[in-house]
Structure 1
């Protein structure tokens, strides 16, 4: 076969093949847990804004916090490269940073990610002085009810409402007080806020021997509130059905700001009312649950992943997040955006709440602490004077490496 013939054949093949195809956008898989926001729309907007560089696809993680945590940790430790970015419970920051499974935040993004972020949210995503993920949502909890339920309970919503006021009013009016818990983190957030609100600290310090403040006057006051709620049959264990309960029977619910977009309350959305979270004493101490956007260490293209995170935490994305879901953005200045001023009716309550909002305690052993709290504070009907001591011992044992 002559060289000329081979060359002619190759030219013919090339002509038949036509022009080379342009490479399409890189697909980025964004793993999210239970989410009341329209993450598909946020992903689409950022994909379009990338100019063809990437397209974000949503992958769902389990709703339950234990299952979600177990799946993520297993895959991250296995160096699974199918996760490009994920929504991380802020309470996991210390654990995942210690496990060295997070890609370092690029130097040029540290300041933009941290700028104007609520101090408690920034602290929750900073480990040993380093920002480990981009703060995204930070939802203060509120007191919710329908119609004139607060008036019928004798509550003056123009002034701070205490837990004593709320429980007495609910008992007087024959209504329940439910604690929202869509993923299993609600009980821990509630107990933490009760203890801190009573002047104590649930857990503080690093390592296997932190200070635990449950067996204290503050812990006793927290247990007393829970005990009264249960004994008066004003409510049961924290539940994912709080929205459905409010829609069917009325009463009161303590829940994050995103509760407003719970599908279970859609039919009564126009009847919803809200006020600041109930205080234990004179100092406001509302729990706040939040998520950060993290990039795994073994993501195929950490630069593209962080480009997507930058878009998802941009001013436009955060404004859309707030007005579309009721979430409170972790960046406080989002409240000044024109769309938020016009379309976020919760702002009068949520923005001041962010100043004193409580993130969950930072510890690499948070999931063990959560399990110990779950074991010793539920069922609510079993909570009593011995609970602070039992819970203190259980938390200490769990952090030290024992079974929670």
Structure 2
């Protein structure tokens, strides 16, 4: 969905076409066995094994059939919205981005979970991930996988990782003065990843962008502080010269190529660097030198509030088999299957118990940092108009050097209010 996944989770076109259990279009009930059509998730590495296991466990009560969606988040949302708006009953379970819950729930496209379903979906599930599946205090989704960004750094250059942005600036400047690799890599291109960067900084300062019922913007002095920090990075001479074009791959490359001493990126960095190191000696050197730490805070003693990525399973309001669809969704995200998916596809689990599994800890040596961040993580602005607000934020903050904290804050307030009022709505 909108969160960058580990490279190993991306399948080539040929692999997708041969993946077991996938269908190019929705299947119908087969010989009296109810078909549960899954849209999204099915093409992830190894997910066909999870579908097969759940179908075997169902013992003929239902059959899950995976259906393909476009590879990009916007294409996925567009197809789902089009079919849901048409009340298409050929979709049962959908893997929906964590930012879509309010929009789909407010439109009446996904089912609110009943009391028992809410209890089952909430067991052993990290609370912040449940928050991404909630709208107006009602649970509409079953958390599937999650994600948080970490601070990655070169251990040979930085014996003790910075705890704050101020410390990171100081360390980077010292490295630069010594002629060492020094860059600070963050996502700041005009896209969703930049919104994640801004939202984490804003949330850590204690700010938000919209109120709880999504009726007015909450732009305040915390917004100004957050913009000032991004502006400081852009003007510091410590970021990449291509900061305004930096997405996750560019940030990863800055570390891989030996330019960066620090990058903020998702947990896949270590496994991807190790994989690259199998054929590239420099990448192997960087992988062996990689350290990880908690996302730097904006102030000493103030814990970071990192922005959540990930996806939820949601049940279509128009499904012919909603109860079976819920059962199928729960099967596909049991702790056992979350562990399998985390290892095969690089998408971290939402079940806290999985973080205690030795197999998970071996694959994710950064698990303690991840879990600590996940316990205090925050969603992006929870609003049916998130897509519009996200575009407004990334546009007004681009390029980072062009930010004026006070005036950009005013522009954000006006732009978000217009979106909430239905003015100038973007597709």
Q: TM-score range by the shorter chain?
A: 0.7 to 0.9
Which whole-Å CA distance do the structure 1 matches of 2:271 and 2:395 have between them?
30
The answer as to 2:253 corresponding to 1:248 is no
Q: Partner of 2:225 in structure 1?
A: 221
Q: CA deviation at 1:155?
A: 5.9
The answer as to 2:391 corresponding to 1:387 is no
The answer as to 2:231 corresponding to 1:230 is no
Residue-by-residue CA offset, 1:197-220 (whole Å, 9 max, x unaligned): 1232232221432x422x42x222
Which whole-Å CA distance do the structure 1 matches of 2:71 and 2:190 have between them?
6
The answer as to 2:204 corresponding to 1:204 is no
Pick from 393, 398, 402 the counterpart of residue 419 of structure 2.
398
Q: CA deviation at 1:224?
A: 2.0
Pick from 183, 186, 193 the counterpart of residue 179 of structure 1.
186
**Does the C-alpha gap of structure 1 residues 346 and 263 become closer, same or farther in structure 2, counting only changes over 3 Å?**
closer
Pick from 124, 127, 130 the counterpart of residue 122 of structure 1.
130
SS at match of 1:91: coil
Q: Partner of 1:90 in structure 2?
A: 98
The answer as to 2:276 corresponding to 1:273 is no
Gap regions ≥5 residues in structure 1: 1-21
Which whole-Å CA distance do the structure 2 matches of 1:337 and 1:204 have between them?
38
Pick from 172, 184, 195 the counterpart of residue 188 of structure 1.
195
Q: TM-score, normalization: structure 1?
A: 0.82
Residue-by-residue CA offset, 1:18-61 (whole Å, 9 max, x unaligned): xxxx9386554322269876433333332333334444444343
8 Å CA contact 2:146–2:309 kept in 1: the answer is: yes
Residue-by-residue CA offset, 1:160-184 (whole Å, 9 max, x unaligned): 5212222343342443333359994
Which whole-Å CA distance do the structure 2 matches of 1:219 and 1:275 have between them?
25
Q: Partner of 2:16 in structure 1?
A: none
Q: TM-score, normalization: structure 2?
A: 0.78
Residue pairs, 1:114-193, within 5 angstroms:
114-145=122-153, 149-152=154-157, 154=158, 156-157=160-161, 161-171=163-173, 172=176, 173-180=180-187, 184-193=191-200
Residue pairs, 1:217-366, within 5 angstroms:
218-231=222-235, 232=237, 234-235=239-240, 236-237=243-244, 238-241=246-249, 242-251=251-260, 252-262=262-272, 266-267=276-277, 268=283, 270-271=287-288, 272-281=290-299, 282-285=301-304, 286-366=306-386
Which whole-Å CA distance do the structure 2 matches of 1:77 and 1:352 have between them?
39
**Does the C-alpha gap of structure 1 residues 245 and 71 become closer, same or farther in structure 2, counting only changes over 3 Å?**
farther
Q: Partner of 2:20 in structure 1?
A: none
Which whole-Å CA distance do the structure 2 matches of 1:295 and 1:39 have between them?
19
**Does the C-alpha gap of structure 1 residues 174 and 261 become closer, same or farther in structure 2, counting only changes over 3 Å?**
closer
Which whole-Å CA distance do the structure 1 matches of 2:253 and 2:274 have between them?
5
SS at match of 2:424: coil
Residue-by-residue CA offset, 1:276-308 (whole Å, 9 max, x unaligned): 111111322222212111111122422332222
Which whole-Å CA distance do the structure 1 matches of 2:388 and 2:239 have between them?
29
Residue-by-residue CA offset, 1:247-274 (whole Å, 9 max, x unaligned): 3345232123244455896434743432
8 Å CA contact 1:34–1:62 kept in 2: the answer is: no
Q: Partner of 2:23 in structure 1?
A: none
**Does the C-alpha gap of structure 1 residues 176 and 375 become closer, same or farther in structure 2, counting only changes over 3 Å?**
same
8 Å CA contact 2:184–2:238 kept in 1: the answer is: no
Which whole-Å CA distance do the structure 2 matches of 1:69 and 1:275 have between them?
33
**Does the C-alpha gap of structure 1 residues 360 and 169 become closer, same or farther in structure 2, counting only changes over 3 Å?**
same
Q: CA deviation at 1:185?
A: 2.7
8 Å CA contact 2:38–2:92 kept in 1: the answer is: yes
Q: Partner of 1:5 in structure 2?
A: none
SS at match of 1:138: strand
Q: CA deviation at 1:85?
A: 1.4
Residue-by-residue CA offset, 1:353-400 (whole Å, 9 max, x unaligned): 122212112111111111110111122232233322222221222222
SS at match of 2:99: helix
SS at match of 2:368: helix
8 Å CA contact 1:179–1:186 kept in 2: the answer is: no
